[in-house]
Homo-oligomer: A and B are copies of this chain.
Amino acid sequence: MISFAIIGHLARTDGEFSLNDLPGSGGRMDVLCRCVNASLFLSHDLRRDTECYLILCGESAAPKTIRFSGNTIRSLSPDERSAGALVKKALNLPVGSEFRDAAPGVSVRKGGLERLIADDSFAVLDEKGSDIRSAESLPTSFILSDHLNFTGDEESLIQQYPRYSVGPSCLHADHTITVLNNELDRRRCGWQ
């Protein structure tokens, strides 16, 4: 299983945003929606072995985590509004500390980064890391930040994790996921 976890520092946690204004009213929810797309979509297919976690840290019920599971998701299209509508549906549910289903392949719980990294071992994708192409083997679970840098508290939580970079240019989070998925595809299929 491949996992991507993206921290949305300003992303709303209460569903009180408009699908017509994901960047503004959603706290850059557009970034997170594109990360769902980059994590899960192939052309005319889905990456069934991949999960995408959105760690939402904005107003007014932070933190919450939404999980998109490639093996069970339905009703997801590649456009931003499609993922945004599923996020909104999940955020409108009352939630506790365990994942509850909001739609097929979409679940939500209270809790953020600290909770997530207690369950799995992650690597960090950012521009200060070592080149993914030079790595003898790559991990399968990755944390990224949205358009903002990791906070000091987040850095403290992830400081012991290995860091990888996908290239010499500083990319958007969704582009970073796309390049990483390409590298994993190549390694799996012997395209080096």
Chain A residues with CB under 8 Å of chain B are 19-20, 22-23, 30-31, 34, 37-38, 41-45, 77-81, 131, 133, 147, 166-172, 175, 178-179, 181-182, 185-186, 188-189, 191-192
A186 touches B168 (CB 8 A): yes
Q: State the copy count for this chain.
A: 2
CA of A81 to CA of B79 in the docked complex: distance in angstroms? 10
A38 touches B169 (CB 8 A): no
Contact of A178 among B81, B168, B179, B191 (CB under 8 A): B179
CA of A42 to CA of B181 in the docked complex: distance in angstroms? 18
Among A31, A34, A79, A171, chain B packs the most CB atoms within 10 A around the CB of A79
A30 touches B167 (CB 8 A): no
A172 touches B41 (CB 8 A): yes
Chain B residues whose CB sits within 8 angstroms of the CB of A175 once the complex forms: 38, 41, 178, 181-182
A42 touches B170 (CB 8 A): yes
B172 touches A185 (CB 8 A): no
Contact of A79 among B45, B80, B167 (CB under 8 A): B80
A172 touches B78 (CB 8 A): yes
Closest 6 pairs between A and B when the two form their complex, measured CB to CB: A168-B189, A30-B79, A43-B170, A178-B178, A169-B185, A175-B178
B186 touches A167 (CB 8 A): yes
CA of A38 to CA of B131 in the docked complex: distance in angstroms? 21
CB closest chain-B residue, reference A30: B79
A23 touches B182 (CB 8 A): no
Task: List 29 A–B pairs whose Cβ atoms lie within 8 Å, in order of A's numbering.
Answer: A20-B20, A20-B81, A22-B79, A22-B81, A23-B77, A23-B79, A30-B78, A30-B80, A34-B37, A38-B175, A41-B172, A41-B175, A42-B169, A42-B170, A43-B170, A43-B172, A45-B170, A78-B172, A79-B80, A131-B191, A133-B191, A133-B192, A167-B186, A168-B188, A168-B189, A169-B182, A175-B178, A175-B181, A178-B179
